[in-house]
Structure 1
Amino acid sequence: MSQNPGEFIPIGRLSSRAALGADTQPSLPPEQMFHEIINLVRRRRLFIAKVVLAGTLLTGVAAFVVPPAYTATAQFMFEPTQAQMAAGLLETVVDTHIATLMSDARLRDVLKALPDLPQYKAVSARAVSQMANPTLGDRLRGSLVAIGKGLKNVVLPSPNPPEALQAANGLPSLDAMKNSLLVRQERRSNVISISYRDVDPERAAIIVNQVVQTHVDRLTDRMQQQADALRTGLDNRLIQSQAELEAADEALRAHVSAHGTPSADAAAGELTAETSRQLELVRSELLRRQERLEQVRKLQLSGAPPEKIDALLREPLVGTQFARAVAPITAPESQADVNSGTIAAKPTVSGADSEQRLQRLEHDVDVFRLQEHSLAERIASLQAASGADLAQRRERQTLERRAATAADVVRDLLRQQQQLKDPSSTGVQILAQASVPQRPSSLSPYLYISAAMIAFAALGGGAASVLERMDRSLRSERELATTLGIGCIGLVPEPEEGRYNGRWRLPECPSPPYDQAIEAVAAVALEVIQHRGDGKILAVTSSGPGEGKTALAVGIAAYAARFQRRVLLICADAPSQDVKLTGLSSETNLDSDVSAQRASLEIRRDSALGFDCLALDEIGDANTASLVGSQLANSLDKLRDRYDYMIIAAPGVFESAGIRILAARVDGVLFAVRWGSTRRDVAANAIELLMKPALLSGGPRPKIFAVLTRVNLKAHAGYRRGDTGEFLGKRPQRSGGSGLHVS
């Protein structure tokens, strides 16, 4: 809200957003936001510098306490078996090696073997001698480490804190060894690297070499045990397989001697097939004659004439020529009829001829039945002979296969046994042993310090931004007007130390920024109370003590006195010396019910500043909270004609309840807000309390306007508000005295 500094802005009731100090400023454009960040860094540069300095010192101390570490690395290679490669188990084998190397059991074996190594004994003896005669740096480092451990035990108490080195034998603990050991696979190869990190380079190389050697030895022992167990199993299987081979050969020889060597007889198979074909032909002929015989029987039973029966007997049979090949023995008459295929017709039908043909038909049926039976028996005998030969052949083949299988098993077992007797390798070999590292693997402390400076600078900037966000005080005229909803007529800098004493004396060397600010604020304040009226009374108040309202009231009174105005300053700590003037007499008592009121008010004149002073306790009792009320308001009405201006340095709103009543009886209330100290909610609540009596009674609202007091011009200029405070500190000192200075 942009307003004329001298314009009065009444408010009914502050909104919750204003009372809480909500940010009503619109979002800033990027370029303005960049300038705000630059201003923030400029304002908080000391805080950021302290954070950076403290963080850098802590990092430097930590880098000094932690000694440089050295890393020694060794490598070994394993050869996976063909079965593992075919199954794609390379990654599984690698993980198995890594898990085995990092296992507690393997590391305990390493710790058990270290004391017996001569190299490790020499390193331990040198470490003991160094601990017996520590240098100044070692002592300082040890003290800092002890302090750090003590703080750690206080924050995180542990019954048995793990130590990096065991005091008894100088060996690293199991936990320290696991934390310092690193096992990894080299890319996707069969090579595994083992690294160990320690403050002593020789000890790091010895430990990592012992880890690799212990792992290889354990793998070799395990493979040797597996080979021995496999060798024993092969010997047992070889004995059993040789016995099975001998039994198979013996059974094969017995079968050959009993049955001979079977040969494949193709003629027997052809004979069986030809006999089966003849059997089918005989059965076909037998079926035709049986059907003809049944037809003749039916005709005879039905009483058919002899001519019809004779015609049926004379009718030729289909396929009779094939029966001649399988039935060569027949009656001469029958053979002639069959060969001819027809029976010659006779002029007359003879019963004897028909009977003879019927007998021949029955005889043929009997003959074909005998042939069918004979051929079936012959086929059965041929098949029986062929089945026995096939069974013998199959049995021989089974025996031969069993003997060949046993021979193959024996040969394979013999080959495996030969390989176990002369193994080519154990599958694991050391590629490179660790050498003593010459340079530390840890980063240089200078790098830590540089990184710490950058990190803590960012941290300080973030903390400064948080502090700015958490700052609920008022620091600009526009911010004050927006938050409180009242006009702000200007700002007053922080007076120099010793500027005013108990008599409000000005020093010999004036402060032009302060004097100029007081002049501007006084001119605007007096103009506000006289605007379109005969205003004379100005009350200067604040939220609480220490807001600079007394010095502000003195400055306004001194400014008015410069122009030969009659000015009365009423405050709690008015001077008790100087010229005593006559005040109100007892005849003009304002409140006859107050028996403790004095006969006359003691108004004293400050000759140095040129205005009269009246102490608040001159009206009524000594309780300041009760004085600022209706009694003082009535006294002001009686004094209005004697003075051009009456300036009241009233108590704070939260110090006296009477100031709320006084606010409606004076011509204007100047509300002092201390720059960077008074919280927004406190100031907003104080303004609301000043407004509340008028709101409840329905009377005229008091004229309230504000001013920023005790402004630190140097810090305020860092905000770059573009207001008066940014340029007051840049003005040069005046050669003469200030307008407020009275010699």
Structure 2
Amino acid sequence: MLDRPVESRPPSDRKPQLRAPAPVAAPIEPEGMTVTALLAALRRRRFVLVLCALLFPIAAYIAAKQLTPRYTASATLMFEPTDYAARELQSILRDETTTDAVLASQADIIRSLPVARRIVRQFDLTNREEFAWWVAEAKRPETLKYRWLDAIARRVATLSPSLADMIAPEAPVPRPADDKAETAAAEAVRDHMLVTVLRNSRVLTVQFTSEDPQLATDAANLASELYISDQLEAKFNAVRRANEWLDGRVAQLRKELQTTESRIAELRSQSGLVRGVSAGLATEQVSKINTDLIEARNLLATAEARLNAAKSGGGGADLTALGASNLTASRAARDDARRELERLQATLGPNHPDVRAARSRLAETERAVGGETGRVVQALDSEARAARARVVSLESALKTQEGRLNQSQGAEIQVAALERDAEAARSLLRAVLERSQQTVSQTAIEKPDARILSASTVPVIPSFPKVSLFVMAATILGVLFGLLVIWFLEQADSTIRSGEEVRAALGLPCLALVPMLKRGLLGRHKVEDYVVRKPLSPFSESMRTLRAALWLGTEPPRVVVITAARPGEGKTTTSVALARSAAMNGERVLLIDCDVRQPALGRVFRCEGAPGVTDLLLGQALLERIIRRDHLSSLDYIPAGAAEIHSLGLFMSEAMAGLLDRVRRDYDLIILDAPPALAMADARVVARLADATLLCVRWRDTPRSVVRNSLGLLEEAHARVVGAALTQVDAKVHGRSGYADAEVYHPRYGGYFRE
């Protein structure tokens, strides 16, 4: 490969110019637990989820089988209240609209303490351990724990009575009194009984839960029967009280009616009233007197009018109306004499004899008129006094008759009021007697407000524990717990698991995923030889991918340093495999072992102890003497040489820079296998001299903080870190991880590889 020895090349007169470090992108923080990331995490850790989803239901099933089974029996009732329409019995028997509150009250009645006490007495539940705690308390001295503690306490009592008191078990609590025991058992029965109302209906469901299925059935049926019998008995009692009240009311009404009728008879006898006769006659008499009185008053008014007319000296017409013809003739003669006098005075004068004679005649006629008028007035006055006397007589008679009529009418009014009261009492008595007959017949046809729709049957399947429900809930809980564990593992896992995480955590591109070569796949081959032995394998393809990534950069590097954060990352294997792959590709490749403290190329190429780069830098060897050829490929390599504790000074010397400058002209690619960058300063110095630095990171092993720390040291040394390579990747595990770069391990690409 080398056309001329190192000594024949002109020595470099200047120190090679160091390349500026490549800018490293800032780390990209992950976006969080997206749906895709969650599905990928579930796919990677599905065994944890499956394990939790299996262990929890299995544990729940075992625990459920250890529990004492309980059985629930159910009976259904229909609540149908009977209507009572009697107005007189509203205070005793009242119709209530069936509401939710009414149905809830019926449910409380079924679960009432009296019903529970009768169930306790019926089935002797005071002697059942399920409902009577004192039964278990009485059995406690027979348990092994009690006897064991009691025996220990007796032995310790001889040494320390106080310690024996602390060890000795508590004495059993004695059985309570019968009444208290029955009450406590009844409370337990109420706790085991559940009464519910079917939504939007009048159906009541009575449920009873017990360890004995037969007892649960009998108790549910008995509670339903007791509820119905209590309802019927309550109705009978109500009807009986109603009958008693009605009988008392009948007696009271009869007594009141008798008293009223006696009072009516007494009033009639005192007033002399005859039903329908006396009052009518008195009324007729008063009416006749009123008619006569009106007529008499009319006559009196006429007489007084005539008298007043006569006294006032009315005309002839008035006198005619009064029936005085003489007075009329006298007045006519007076009028003639007055006209004659007026005529004569107008023609003859007042002193003429004819005038004086006419005046004498007028005076005589006036005296005749006055006399006749007095006679008429006297006759009219007599007539008016007679009419007035008749009016007074009739008024007196009317007052007398009205007094009698008023007295008779008062008695009649009282009698009528008493008769109305008597009639009302009779009507009420008839209604009460009718209702009394109805309530008496009601006793014979009375029915309860509820009926049993279906009696409970003996349950076969226990209501508790619900094994299927327990297992289902435990499965859900196991899945949730598994998800929690997966989330915790994902959060606790600080390693790098994919190329995406390399980019997110380090800000570097992932140039290659180097698969792990398991022992069964290697067979008798070595890992370093696998790229030559299996050139079409995924491992060899990852090396070609890495070489292509280095070559496709903007400035293809000639000198590449391969380092890692810590030992065991696979940097030496990657260096050898990459160098051999490039050499097999026809490139001139030189591999230099710069890990002086722990050299590995001597072991790989079986040249331990051979002079190498340290000998060259110390001036103890020539370049053409230390360059060796790989026996499997056209690769040239330089071992580390003798161990030198001052290797840092050698790498910082001009000899190292001159070495790299000399080999650049003869090789297409120079790979430097450097020590771990986190612990050794040699790696940082060598990385500063190279064109590019490749950081090897072990898949799912190296913590991100360690890798970041080592990357920071390389950046401080102004090394040009071009990317990272994930090493020892488990192809099967990574292929199931769900990451995007795991696609290369899909079976669909199997035709491109040959193992």
Q: TM-score range by the shorter chain?
A: 0.5 to 0.7
Equivalent residue number for residue 50 of structure 1: 51
Aligned to 2:726: 708
Contact 1:47–1:460 under 8 Å retained in 2: no
**1:246 aligned partner:** 258
**Equivalent residue in structure 1 for 2:691, among 667, 690, 700:** 667
SS in structure 1 of the partner of residue 611 of structure 2? strand
Q: Structure 1 CA distance, aligned partners of 2:725 and 2:392? A: 144
Give the one of 345, 368, 390 matched to 2:409. 390
Post-superposition offset of 1:198:
3.8
Distance 1:190 1:639, change over 3 A: closer
1:207 is aligned to: 219
Displacement of 1:670 in angstroms is 2.1
Distance 1:585 1:74 in 2: 102
In structure 2, relative to structure 1, the CA distance for the partners of 1:574 and 1:189 (3 Å cut) is: closer
Does the CA contact (< 8 Å) of 2:562 and 2:696 recur in 1?
no
For 2:292 and 2:651, how far apart are their aligned partners in 1? 156
For residues 194 and 466 of structure 1, what CA distance do their matches in structure 2 show? 47
User: For 1:566, what is the secondary structure of its paired residue?
Assistant: strand
Corresponding residue SS for 1:21: coil
Assess if the C-alpha contact under 8 Å between 1:101 and 1:215 holds in 2. Answer: yes
Is the alpha carbon distance of 1:23 and 1:184 closer, same or farther for their aligned partners in structure 2, counting shifts above 3 Å? closer
Q: Please state if 1:569 is matched with 2:593.
A: yes
**Who is 2:660 aligned against?**
640
Deviation readout 1:139-163 (Å, 9 max, x if unpaired): xxxxxxxxxxxxxxxxxxxxxxxxx
Contact 1:630–1:661 at 8 Å: present in 2 too?
no
Q: 1:169 to 1:250 in 2, by over 3 A?
A: closer
Q: Name the residue aligned to 1:437.
A: 458
1:65–1:606 CA distance, 2 compared to 1 (3 A): farther
Report the 3-state secondary structure (helix = DSSP H, G, I; strand = E; otherwise coil) of the residue aligned with 2:512.
strand
Cα separation, partners in 2 of 1:703 and 1:333, compared to 1, 3 Å? same
Alpha-carbon distance, 1:269 to partner: 7.3
Deviation at 1:668, TM superposition (A): 1.7
2 CA distance for matches of 1:474 and 1:365? 150
Q: What letter corresponds to residue 705 of structure 1 in structure 2?
A: G
Instruction: Tell me how far apart the structure 1 counterparts of residues 751 and 264 of structure 2 sit (CA, whole Å).
Output: 129
1:261 corresponds to which residue? 274
Contact 2:496 2:502 in 1 (8 A): yes
Residue 536 (structure 1) aligns with: 559
Question: Structure 1 residues 721 and 585 mapped into 2: Cα distance closer, same or farther (>3 Å)?
Answer: closer
Q: Secondary structure at the match of 1:581?
A: coil
- Please tell me the residue identity of whatever aligns with 1:53: L
2:220 is aligned with 1:196: no
Residues 594 and 613, structure 2, Cα contact 8 Å, conserved in 1 = no
Segment drifting more, 640-649 vs 611-620: 611-620
Q: 1:216 to 1:584 in 2, by over 3 A?
A: closer
SS at match of 1:437: coil
Check conservation: 2:73, 2:209, Cα contact below 8 A: yes
What is the CA–CA distance in structure 2 between the aligned matches of 1:372 and 1:685, rounded to whole Å? 145
Aligned residues of 1:110 and 1:214 also touching (Cα < 8 A) = no
Matching of residue 19 in structure 1 with residue 44 in structure 2: no
**Distance in 1 between residues matched to 2:705 and 2:583, nearest whole Å:** 33
Task: Give the whole-Å Cα distance in 2 for the aligned partners of 1:315 and 1:668.
Answer: 170
Residues 1:169 and 1:236: Cα distance change in structure 2 (over 3 Å): closer
In structure 2, relative to structure 1, the CA distance for the partners of 1:640 and 1:226 (3 Å cut) is same
Instruction: After TM superposition, list the pairs within 5 Å mapping 1:729-740 onto structure 2.
Output: 730=750, 734=754
Q: 1:171 to 1:226 in 2, by over 3 A?
A: closer
Deviation at 1:95, TM superposition (A): 3.3
Secondary structure of the residue that 1:707 maps to in structure 2? strand
Of the three residues 491, 503, 512, the one matched with 2:513 is 491
Give the 3-state SS of the residue equivalent to 1:424 in structure 2.
helix
Give yes or no for the alignment of 1:107 onto 2:116.
yes
- CA drift of 1:258 comes to 2.0
Q: In structure 1, how many angstroms separate the alpha carbons of the residues matched to 2:550 and 2:98?
A: 96
Pair member with larger Rg: 2
Give how far 1:115 is off. 0.7
Q: Calculate the TM-score normalised by the size of structure 1.
A: 0.61
State the number of aligned residues: 616
Higher deviation after alignment, 632-641 or 446-455: 446-455
Cα 1:336/1:466, change in 2 over 3 Å: farther
1:446 to 1:216, Cα distance in 2 relative to 1, 3 A? closer
How many Å separate the matches in 2 of 1:406 and 1:619?
136
Deviation (angstroms), 1:100: 0.5
Alpha-carbon distance in structure 1 between the residues aligned to 2:675 and 2:592: 13
Give 1:79 shift: 4.7
Q: Distance in 1 between matches of 2:302 and 2:711?
A: 137
Displacement of 1:346: 4.3
User: Percent of pairs identical after alignment?
Assistant: 17
How far does residue 257 in structure 1 lie from its aligned partner after superposition? 1.9
* SS state at 1:579 partner: coil
Cα-Cα RMSD: 6.4
Partner of 1:726: 746
Shift of 1:101: 0.7
Whether the aligned pair in 2 keeps the contact of 1:40 and 1:465 (CA below 8 Å) is yes
Do 2:303 and 2:384's aligned partners in 1 also have CA atoms closer than 8 Å? Answer: yes
Task: Output aligned runs, 1:258-337, within 5 Å.
Answer: 258-259=270-271, 260-263=273-276, 265=280, 267=284, 271=288, 334=322
Structure 1 CA distance, aligned partners of 2:288 and 2:471?
109
Quote the Cα distance in structure 1 between the aligned partners of 2:47 and 2:409: 112
TM-score (norm 2): 0.60
Change (3 A) 1:288 1:484: farther
Unaligned runs of 5+ in 2: 1-19, 86-92, 140-179, 340-365, 665-669
The verdict on how the C-alpha distance between 1:480 and 1:537 changes in structure 2, with shifts beyond 3 A counting, is closer
